[in-house]
Structure 1
Amino acid sequence: MSDAPARPESPPRRGFMAKLWYGYARVTVALRWFIVLGWIAAAVAAQLYLPAPQGSANDIEALGANDASFAAEQRSLELFGFPLLSRAAIVQRDPEGLSPLVQAEAVMRGIAITQKAYDVPLLGAIPVPNAEGAFPGAGEKNTTVVTFVFGDPNMNFFDQTYHIEEFAAQQLTDASDSYVGVTGSIPARAAQGRVLNSYVHIVEVVTILAVLTIVAVTFGSLVAPLLTLISVGAAVFVTLGVSGWASTVMNVSIPADLRPLIVALLLGIVTDYCIFYLSGLRARLREGYDRLEAARLATASFTPIVTVAGVTVAAGTASLLVAESPLFSGFGPALALTVLTGLVVAITLVPALLAILGGAAFWPRKLAVAPTKVRERPSFLTRAVANRASAFVIVLLCVAGLGALAYQAKDMELGLGFVQSLPETTSAQRAADAAGEGFAPGIVSPTEIVLEAPGIGEKQEEVAQFGEALKTQPGVAGVIGPGDLPAADDAGAFTAKSGEAVRYLVVLDSTPLEATAIDTLGSIRESLPQLATDAGLGEVTSYVGGDTALASGIIADTSNDLLRIGLVALAVNLLLLVIFLRALIAPLYLLASSVLALGATLGLAVLFFQDYLGQDGLTFYVPFAVSVLLLSLGSDYNIFAVGHIWQEARNRPMREALLVATPESTRAITSAGLALAASFGLLALIPLGPFHELGFLLGVGILIDVFIVRALLVPSLITLVGTFSSWPSTILRRGRRRPAEVAQ
């Protein structure tokens, strides 16, 4: 007669939904081998037959540029016959001084480019030396020449940059030429692409190793990380193929900047769901169930929670669809599709692998069978959040601390610095620094101001007076206009041949495309009518173009999207929480806690990046993308944590349900949160400004959510609100009328 404990019978399944999910689990476990082989085939087919996700080559448009600044540049082209603004520049600088010959050669070279004297795909050039008297606002004299070069707009950023750099390398070969490099927004975007391509695969490998290490430590297993790796791999390969196909069908371009974020999100959520399923399997095996029944019960228990959680994240990210900005309206579907693919993998492939492996998933650890569930002694922290007096103190401390951090978010500034996001070692960054030293930071991307009025070109004195008035505006380092560059004047660069328009290049004393420059340009734009009147030009039509004007429009459009996106995201997350919990009160304070955590995260970013590191602002799209993700992922963890408490509270008093459910859910959420924080946080290894910000915000935000909101604030709120949390339903009140069931 065997002394081994008898295997327990499966718990009774009450209700239609419980039977439905157990039926799903039975089918999934029965088809386990077919499911695994099917996903392997799907991953291979996706890579072989579906297109890779494509980003826009000239993706300023994909970043959301749909602005009046483009219209201004187009009008300038119509009036003058050729553009004045260039988004690429060759920089020569010698702090000891450039010889007059080198400066003259730069001017002649620019004229020769414009006259098509070189067999290169360059359309023109405007050389600007900081010669004595030529640029009064320059930081130095006779040290620097910036030659603005016009590439072929039909070429992508990489090709334009290549041809300009090749031309400069061929022409500026003498040491006396003091060639520094090529800079501007086009070379900067190309450099960003090169840096991203160099680092993205390294970061992905490091992230996978970190996440798998967390899984291995959590379960003390070498097989559990392998199961996670298989699941993540299938999800990534299928998602990349499906995303490429969907972007082609929907004609949506996803900027290259954001594709690593999609992979990080996929890796993080699939790992999270693997951790929850593995936790369920481990608990059932310890209760004495055999391999297949343990897999069925874990699948039946966690699949509804995982499904609702995944749908919540997908719906939350899909709220970006309501944005008018092309960036967000294209990014939202990509995120939602990523989450849904990861969800499908999680609820099919992971249970199938669990059924195949059983206890071997935790090798080399052997699970001790304990058929009778022994209730562990709650920790001090668990008892604290379950006690009304201490819970009240915890809520006060959490709200005060998070609120104080959230208050700092009011000082957030937004910018669009392409060059400034690059590592200091890149050629574009070095050239921009050199140009800024010789002139002013704004020389890299000057602003164009066009004045149009009948006969304005004949009013030379008034035009000159207007230019002098521009120079006196706060934040302006220099102005180049009619009469300042004779060679350019001869070509009609600043006065239209029709005499109906004049234009100026305005160089700001702050870094272009950043918050300070955007504010400065806003003030200048407002003052233009009065400046024209004071100069005697009368009523004129003014146009403002350039990268800083472009950045201003993008940020304004994005800010306008904020309220729309925020309301939709909150409504979607609230609705799904209400449906899942069948309550109105709990979803309100759960969502409020997520918003508070998000505000604290944004406030920390302001303190770190703007106050400590001295950045002019955050990359414009980072706070918005982070906000949607953190709100959705916060609801994701709400469903896991509160859903477990809700299940226990059906049969127990509320305090006992908290004491039973909180330790188990907290352990799983902690491991899952660490994996997700690592997945996002390691994006900061990519040496580009936006990825530093994304990694910090998402990593810190997840940790705040896991260790403060889910572990302390939410359980304490549940304790204080009590059974009223489930109003108008009576789900939580039933537990008060039933005897506590210590042995489950």
Structure 2
Amino acid sequence: MLNQIGRWVAGKRSKWITLAVWAIIVGVLSAIWPDVNQMEKNNAANLDASKPSVVAGEIAGTQFPGESGLPALIVWNREGGLTDEDYSGIQKLTAYFTEHPVRGQAALPPFDKIPLPVLQQQASEDGTAFVLPFFFEKKSDSDTLKKGTEAIRKQAKALFGTDPFAADQKGGELSARVSGPAGISVDAVGLFSDADVSLMIATVMLVLILLLLIYRSPILAIIPLIAVGFAYGAASPILGKLAEQGWITVDSQAISIMTVLLFGAGTDYCLFLISRFRQLLTQEKDKTKALLGAFKDSSGAIAMSGFTVVIALLVLLLAKYGAVHRFAVPFSLSILIMAIASLTLVPALLAILGRTSFFPFVPRTPEMEEQRIRTNGRKAVTKPKARNKVGSRIGVIVTKRPWLVVIVTLVFLVAAAANTFRIQYTVDLLSSFPEDSPSREGFAVIGEKFTPGELAPVKIMVDTQGQEVPLKETFADLSYLAKVSDPVPGKSDPNISAVDIEFNLNPYSMEAVNHIPDLRSVAEKALGDAGIAEPEAKVWISGQPATQYDTEMTNQRDEKVVIPIVIGLIAVLLLVYLRSVVATIYLILTVVLSYFSALGLGWVVVHDVMGNAAIQGLIPLYAFVFLVALGEDYNIFLVSSIWKKRKTMPLKDAIREGVTETGGVITSAGLILAGTFAVLATLPIQVLVQFGIITAIGVLLDTFVVRPLLVPSITMLLGKWAFWPGHGAKGHEEDHLKEHVNV
């Protein structure tokens, strides 16, 4: 069947048909359907409607509408103190937008009607900073927020004569920064949008340079990039159409990582075929036969590898957190299309170019090389016969000293994995921004001049059932709070009473977030003391810290659900492909151990070297799905080679030859995949930097430790039992004696 598929896509005529079909598909899809980048929705909800913070937000919007909305905190600052002219300008700005509201504007405090001496009392104690809260509607998208803040900036420039939003905060002039949830949202979208182009350019250049260094052929270096380009050209409009129909939601973060994944994994699949094709060209004069042989030898592993990654990524559909759930379809669809391109378009391109693909180091059979020498009258410039000397030596080591290799590698990996117990996590998005981001600069002023909790206050609402509940007094003595407001009755239900509280610490920190259950317990106790039945159903807490608490709980739930299912599905796929229970178990265990080792080593880099206090809470789940799925790719390719050779030679020889044969291509593929993820570390967004570093480390561990050392050594130690209960367990009669003596 594989031979037949190869002839269909890479025959003398069909190769051109294959290329034409791909060109037509991409051209038509791009013409009739929107590009996925046009369908990005960067303010999509990450928590479902049943989460406590979301329910509380709805109640707050209904009962306290004047205080609801998405706040953009405009932080005014002047070293030496704000002047009367500064306050007058702020009042004029308030009056202007009260009369001329921007799209999505929900509320604006009437600062223009407050006497100047009273207004000055709301500034910081030293009189150098003032916060103007500008509320947008809660469901405002990122484009609305961006245009609204740009309108504020434009009008401020007209009123003050200079642009305070561009002024240096330490320069003695009036400066302004937009912070708060709206400012953070605008900065986040801007950072991801700016990252798209630079990420694409950096990834393409890195892959191109690595391919040139590895294969020293400019034509060959371009072939995987062409395949990735076609795959992206097909995936983008399909995803765009799905988003347009409302079947999926895509955001800029997902598209950025999808681009990296396509280049990394896509290039790997191409290299699996290209490497085997080059090898067979040194044995087979007919390029078509060599290509069909290469296709037959590698297509099964490519299809299995791609299918494994697609299935693992689709499991993300079971995640409840929106940002993770939204990854599933773009990632799995793009990998599926890339795998199809690797099995159709790449063979067609290789069939069209033939040996020219490898110019100037063209692989030829010995007979062809002799003929070339005789024809030219001198020695031809050819690349030396491919032989992976390093891989050959490793193959000897893992078959002669398997116990030593297993012990050394396990000690190293377990020691690295033990470092995960030191890891600190955070759900604070603001901390992942560059320090010169406007929202982060504004927050720094609020934290220094006011209380940090003012950036993200929390509203606690309770149903008093008409009873007297001392809310303010209940919370006033809590050591981690800086301010508690007077209780306010609800608009339509006066029994619902609310107080606004501010933390005396960073409200986005895990320390503050972890106090949300404490606040709920205190409120429930107050209701219980007042004789109100079932108080746990009569307390609602809204605000960003409450949202982040629900985010953390959702992340923990997703890890408990997604990780076991991914492991289970990959185990089933391996079992079907290898027909070996034993091999499936140790392949899964080695990749899982590699994941924890990558997480531990990543913490050393992120925390001990780079100085980050914590890593983003979503990263462990992201990294697990990618590393387990992609790590099994290399194991599948290696074990496939060993399994095939096992049919014609003793297991020891099969392992040695398998490690030698696959070492070069897997090393090349691993370097490229790790490099593409490492490109994320060049971006100004810490969540992507941390994800890129940890994933790159994991890929390198799989490439240089797990695949060449640990897996073949375990296979050698297990002997025929590595194949149990498959047919390979029978093997050659002399294997058991030979392996026993060698071990």
TM-score (norm 2): 0.86
Question: Which one of 2, 17, 27 corresponds to residue 34 of structure 1?
Answer: 17
1:307–1:325 Cα change, 3 Å? same
Task: Indicate the SS of the match to 2:730.
Answer: helix
Distance (whole Å) between structure 1 residues aligned to residue 622 and residue 222 of structure 2:
31
1:63–1:231 Cα change, 3 Å? farther
- 1:651 and 1:734 in contact (8 A); partners too: no
Match in the other structure for 2:495:
500
Question: Which one of 329, 334, 350 corresponds to residue 346 of structure 2?
Answer: 350
Greater Cα shift, 675-684 or 582-591: 675-684
Distance (whole Å) between structure 1 residues aligned to residue 427 and residue 557 of structure 2:
16
Counterpart residue identity of residue 399, structure 2: A
Distance (whole Å) between structure 1 residues aligned to residue 2 and residue 152 of structure 2:
66
Percent pairwise identity: 23
Task: Indicate the SS of the match to 2:320.
Answer: coil
Match in the other structure for 2:133:
148
Distance (whole Å) between structure 2 residues aligned to residue 498 and residue 328 of structure 1:
37
Match in the other structure for 2:474:
466
1:32–1:448 Cα change, 3 Å? same
Counterpart residue identity of residue 90, structure 1: I
Unaligned runs of 5+ in 2: 165-171, 369-384, 739-743
Task: Indicate the SS of the match to 2:622.
Answer: helix
Unaligned runs of 5+ in 1: 1-19, 484-492
Distance (whole Å) between structure 2 residues aligned to residue 464 and residue 650 of structure 1:
78
Counterpart residue identity of residue 148, structure 1: P
* C-alpha distance after superposition, 1:416-442 (max 9, x if no partner): 333322222222221121122112333
1:70–1:603 Cα change, 3 Å? same
Q: Structure 2 matches for 1:293-332, cutoff 5 A?
A: 293-332=289-328
The Cα of 1:79 is off from its aligned counterpart by 2.3
Counterpart residue identity of residue 403, structure 1: V
Distance (whole Å) between structure 2 residues aligned to residue 498 and residue 26 of structure 1:
74
Distance (whole Å) between structure 2 residues aligned to residue 135 and residue 538 of structure 1:
43
Distance (whole Å) between structure 2 residues aligned to residue 230 and residue 164 of structure 1:
41
Match in the other structure for 1:366:
362
Match in the other structure for 1:71:
55
Distance (whole Å) between structure 2 residues aligned to residue 232 and residue 334 of structure 1:
15
1:592–1:28 Cα change, 3 Å? same
1:180–1:222 Cα change, 3 Å? same
1:44 aligns with 2:44: no
Task: Indicate the SS of the match to 2:580.
Answer: coil
Question: Which one of 378, 382, 397 corresponds to residue 384 of structure 1?
Answer: 397
Distance (whole Å) between structure 1 residues aligned to residue 651 and residue 102 of structure 2:
77
Counterpart residue identity of residue 8, structure 2: V
The Cα of 1:224 is off from its aligned counterpart by 0.4
Distance (whole Å) between structure 1 residues aligned to residue 96 and residue 483 of structure 2:
24
Match in the other structure for 1:486:
none
1:24 aligns with 2:5: yes
1:94 aligns with 2:78: yes
CA RMSD of aligned residues (A): 3.4
1:137–1:417 Cα change, 3 Å? farther
Match in the other structure for 1:5:
none
Counterpart residue identity of residue 476, structure 2: E
The Cα of 1:738 is off from its aligned counterpart by 9.2
Distance (whole Å) between structure 2 residues aligned to residue 218 and residue 639 of structure 1:
22
Match in the other structure for 2:409:
398
Match in the other structure for 1:124:
107
How many residue pairs were aligned? 699
TM-score (norm 1): 0.86
1:442–1:56 Cα change, 3 Å? farther
Question: Which one of 500, 503, 510 corresponds to residue 505 of structure 2?
Answer: 510
- 2:142 and 2:189 in contact (8 A); partners too: no
Distance (whole Å) between structure 2 residues aligned to residue 615 and residue 546 of structure 1:
26
Match in the other structure for 1:444:
455
* C-alpha distance after superposition, 1:133-191 (max 9, x if no partner): 99999995433222222113453223224324423552462789933211122222222
1:669 aligns with 2:666: yes
Match in the other structure for 2:606:
609
* C-alpha distance after superposition, 1:99-150 (max 9, x if no partner): 588569868976x589x44444432235999x99999999954332222221
* C-alpha distance after superposition, 1:550-584 (max 9, x if no partner): 11112211211212111110111111111111111
* C-alpha distance after superposition, 1:302-329 (max 9, x if no partner): 1111111111111111112222333333
- 2:122 and 2:130 in contact (8 A); partners too: no
Distance (whole Å) between structure 1 residues aligned to residue 51 and residue 119 of structure 2:
32
1:370–1:735 Cα change, 3 Å? farther
Counterpart residue identity of residue 79, structure 1: Q
Match in the other structure for 2:169:
none
The Cα of 1:537 is off from its aligned counterpart by 9.5
- 1:88 and 1:184 in contact (8 A); partners too: yes
Match in the other structure for 1:159:
144
1:59 aligns with 2:47: no
Greater Cα shift, 707-716 or 447-456: 447-456
Q: Structure 2 matches for 1:470-619, cutoff 5 A?
A: 472-474=478-480, 476=481, 478-482=482-486, 499-530=494-525, 541-610=538-607, 612-619=609-616
- 1:236 and 1:267 in contact (8 A); partners too: no
Task: Indicate the SS of the match to 1:595.
Answer: helix
The Cα of 1:259 is off from its aligned counterpart by 0.9
Distance (whole Å) between structure 2 residues aligned to residue 49 and residue 374 of structure 1:
46
Task: Indicate the SS of the match to 1:424.
Answer: coil
Task: Indicate the SS of the match to 2:362.
Answer: coil
* C-alpha distance after superposition, 1:498-521 (max 9, x if no partner): 643432332223333342221133
- 2:41 and 2:249 in contact (8 A); partners too: no
Distance (whole Å) between structure 2 residues aligned to residue 526 and residue 60 of structure 1:
31
Match in the other structure for 1:83:
67
Task: Indicate the SS of the match to 2:255.
Answer: helix
Counterpart residue identity of residue 316, structure 1: A
Greater Cα shift, 709-718 or 91-100: 91-100
- 2:394 and 2:659 in contact (8 A); partners too: no
1:411–1:447 Cα change, 3 Å? farther
Task: Indicate the SS of the match to 2:716.
Answer: helix
Match in the other structure for 1:434:
445
Question: Which one of 273, 280, 284 corresponds to residue 280 of structure 2?
Answer: 284
Distance (whole Å) between structure 2 residues aligned to residue 675 and residue 139 of structure 1:
53
1:126–1:263 Cα change, 3 Å? same
1:137–1:643 Cα change, 3 Å? farther
- 2:69 and 2:107 in contact (8 A); partners too: no
Distance (whole Å) between structure 1 residues aligned to residue 571 and residue 732 of structure 2:
25
Distance (whole Å) between structure 1 residues aligned to residue 558 and residue 118 of structure 2:
46
* C-alpha distance after superposition, 1:472-529 (max 9, x if no partner): 333x2x224128xxxxxxxxx6776864343233222333334222113333333333
